[in-house]
């Protein structure tokens, strides 16, 4: 007798009702552990800590021991609900209305977790003797500092022989409808803080002061109008955004002694951290040669740019999405950062999940039909993966 497909709706409702605001576990990992272990997954709860950061609970679950090994990576932690009174339905009640499930994490990303869990359970029930392994890497630290989550779980997986051959991250990748976008890479992120020291003085006697503002303004104008690159086959041109310009001066008749600015560069694979640091240093040197000043530069590395080149794995997922949704997905590298930036150091990785219109918003929600269709896409990906030669 054929097994009845698992319905992801109650799974998602149960997960939403776990108030797992980062870094709190909130019962979400316990729920998943109980669910997956019931169906033969061997689950490991992993708690990591680092001085000055909160302890974080994570989970790794695996069915099977052989290859090929497909891993689903995701997170059960969510951002705070904001002003709860602004929600149409309580943010952790998982109410259903007009075909939608409302709640914090409905799309980012408990919906994907529920959908993949349902698909994985159905697969191992119907193909218990399949060749290979299916696993889950679930963190409670994606919306937080991302220090005690996926990074350290991957280190543990490597030390214990659990590195997968391929990985799908369940971030909500689609824009207008399910199936329109697969993310096969991400731009890099590098932030800078620049300070120029001068000499304070009276505005009526500017020749007796050393005003740092024109120096910094010239620098900011120079970098803000620069063309970093023209982009490439998979990436749009790199961008630079100035996020702060501050002199800390409330007085209108005083020339300040210091001016500071911050900016962020989102870059393609045309660049790396070191090349961009060198470019900024060269730009500072050019302004210093013109206008002088004492400059200080600091850089904070966010994530490096990466790409999973289209090939058999990307093609398999793309085909599965099109067969289930009728949409040929665009291969994209847009958006901010995700935990895929850590996974890419271990195996090929891509991101696919539902539409992202309401992520982090009041009244975050997912259509029930979309949730079930997401599970159907994941089910087809799993079935094709373990029947294909990648």
Alpha carbons 327 and 321: distance in angstroms, whole number: 7
Q: Choosing from 25, 33, 77, 373, which is the catalytic residue?
A: 77
Q: Which residue's entry shows tokens 């824009």?
A: 175
Which among 112, 113, 76 has a CA at the least distance from the CA of 92?
Answer: 76
Which residues, in sequence order, are CB contacts of 249 under 8 Å at separation 6+?
256
Active site residue 77: yes
How far does Cα 62 stand from its chain's mean position? 23
Q: Are 240 and 224 in contact (CB under 8 A)?
A: yes
The pairing of beta strand 69-75 with beta strand 166-169: parallel
Instruction: Reduce the DSSP state of residue 69 to 3 states and report it.
Output: strand
Which residues, in sequence order, are CB contacts of 337 under 8 Å at separation 6+?
186, 189, 302, 303
Q: Give the HSE-up count for residue 274: Cα atoms under 13 Å, Cβ half-sphere.
A: 0
Alpha carbons 377 and 345: distance in angstroms, whole number: 26
| Rg of the chain, C-alpha, whole Å | 24
Q: Choosing from 108, 142, 339, 351, which is the catalytic residue?
A: 142
Taken in order 240, 241, 244, 247, is the CA torsion positive or negative?
A: positive
| Torsion angles phi and psi, residue 106, rounded to 5 | -55, -40
Prior bond to 109 cis, omega within 30?
yes
Q: Are 271 and 186 in contact (CB under 8 A)?
A: no
Which residues, in sequence order, are CB contacts of 146 under 8 Å at separation 6+?
339, 342
Alpha carbons 291 and 256: distance in angstroms, whole number: 16
Alpha carbons 135 and 126: distance in angstroms, whole number: 16
Active site residue 142: yes
Both tokens assigned to 348: 């090929």
Annotated catalytic residues are: 77, 142
């Amino acid at each position: 007798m054929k097994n009845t497909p698992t319905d992801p709706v109650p799974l998602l409702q149960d997960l939403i009702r776990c108030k797992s605001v980062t870094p709190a576990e909130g019962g979400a990992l316990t729920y998943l552990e109980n669910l997956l272990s019931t169906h033969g997954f061997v689950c490991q709860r992993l708690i990591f800590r680092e001085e000055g950061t909160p302890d974080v609970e994570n989970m790794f679950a695996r069915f099977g021991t052989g290859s090929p090994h497909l891993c689903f990576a995701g997170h059960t932690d969510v951002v705070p609900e904001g002003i709860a009174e602004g929600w149409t339905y309580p943010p952790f009640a998982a109410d259903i209305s007009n075909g939608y499930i409302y709640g914090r994490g409905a799309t980012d990303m408990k919906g994907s977790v529920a959908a993949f869990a349902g698909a994985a359970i159905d697969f191992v029930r119907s193909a218990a003797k399949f060749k290979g392994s299916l696993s889950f890497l679930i963190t409670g630290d994606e919306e937080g500092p991302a220090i005690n989550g996926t990074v350290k779980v991957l280190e543990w997986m490597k030390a214990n022989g659990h590195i997968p051959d391929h990985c799908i991250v369940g971030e909500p990748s689609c824009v207008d409808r399910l199936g329109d976008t697969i993310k096969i890479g991400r731009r890099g992120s590098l932030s800078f803080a620049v300070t120029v020291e001068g000499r304070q003085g009276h505005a009526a006697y500017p020749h007796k002061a050393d005003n740092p503002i024109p120096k910094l303004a010239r620098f900011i104008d120079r970098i803000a109008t620069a063309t970093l690159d023209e982009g490439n086959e998979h990436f749009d041109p790199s961008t630079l955004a100035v996020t702060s310009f501050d002199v800390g001066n409330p007085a209108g008749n005083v020339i300040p002694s210091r001016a500071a600015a911050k900016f962020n560069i989102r870059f393609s694979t045309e660049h790396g951290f070191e090349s961009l640091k060198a470019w900024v240093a060269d730009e500072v040197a050019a302004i210093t040669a013109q206008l002088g000043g004492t400059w200080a530069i600091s850089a904070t590395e966010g994530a490096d740019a990466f790409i999973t080149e289209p090939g058999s794995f990307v093609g398999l997922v793309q085909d599965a999405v099109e067969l289930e949704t009728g949409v040929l997905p665009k291969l994209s590298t847009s958006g901010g950062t995700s935990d895929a930036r850590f996974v890419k150091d271990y195996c090929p990785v891509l991101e696919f999940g539902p539409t992202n219109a309401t992520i982090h918003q009041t009244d975050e929600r997912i259509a029930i039909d979309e949730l079930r269709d997401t599970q159907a896409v994941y089910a087809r990906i799993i079935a094709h993966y373990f029947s294909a030669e990648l």
